[in-house]
A and B are shown apart, each in its own frame.
With several copies, the nearest count.
Chain A
Amino acid sequence: MELYQGSLEVKEIFGRWLDEQAASNYGAYVPFVGIIRAEDGIEALSFDIYEPILKKWFDEWQARAMERGAIVKMAHAVGDVPIHTSSYVSAVFSPKRRVALELIEEFVEDFKANAPIWKYDVKNGKRIYAEDRSTPMDGAGLLA
């Protein structure tokens, strides 16, 4: 798991992950690259991350992937990420394509629902919590 201040160097990350696994004999490598879209007049999105819980979430996913003979990778931006640049890259390596295609979908969807990351629109230099696009985590409401 890798966290970076600002936009991700997508090509460097993609290539390095490929090289790291060059001798691992995986048959499928499926990355997911998230890019900030220009919409609603935003200049950038901005992210807060709570790293200790993100790390646990990721380590649990790594264990789950390994049970299926696969591995997962993840990189995310912290702070401001201008439009048309990348905030998020994840990936699955697996021996076979079916597992890779299934895992990347499950991994990315669970990431959206349960990774402790908070998103803000940046407009006129101001950070506005993206409340309408945010999802309560599993178990939310315990103290209400």
Chain B
Amino acid sequence: MITVEFLGPINKAPIEMEADTLADVSARLKEDTELTQWLEKCAVAINDSMVSDLSVLLKEGDRISILPPVCGG
């Protein structure tokens, strides 16, 4: 089981799911039509490290963060 959390303005409760890779996570999240428009603009972190590769293997307890477009300052 892994957890997916949505940061900032996405305003959605965390989701728990079974997933072996980020590709699995992607497939699951795309089932939610509210999320599809967010996904193309969002970056992703695993356990607070930014990632750029869908094939990374997930392990039990991993925490995936979905980061929408930013504007600090």
A and B associate in one complex: yes
A: interface residue count bin: 35 or more
Nearest A residue (CB) for B68: A118
Query: Which residues of A approach B to under 8 Å, CB–CB?
Result: 34, 47-50, 52-53, 56, 76, 87-88, 97, 108, 111-120, 129-131, 133-144
- In the complex, which of the residues A97, A135, A143 contacts B70, with contact meaning CB atoms closer than 8 Å? A135
Query: Which residues of B approach A to under 8 Å, CB–CB?
Result: 7-9, 22, 25-26, 29-30, 36, 39-45, 48-52, 54, 65-73
Enumerate chain B residues within 8 angstroms of A143, measured Cβ to Cβ.
22, 25-26, 29-30, 39, 42, 44, 54, 66
**A137/B72 contact (C-beta < 8 A), A143-B22, A143-B26, A144-B39 known:** no
Nearest A residue (CB) for B43: A137
Q: Contact check, B9 vs A53: say whether CB atoms are below 8 A apart.
A: no
**A88/B73 contact (C-beta < 8 A), A142-B43, A143-B44 known:** yes
**A120/B7 contact (C-beta < 8 A), A112-B73, A135-B70 known:** no
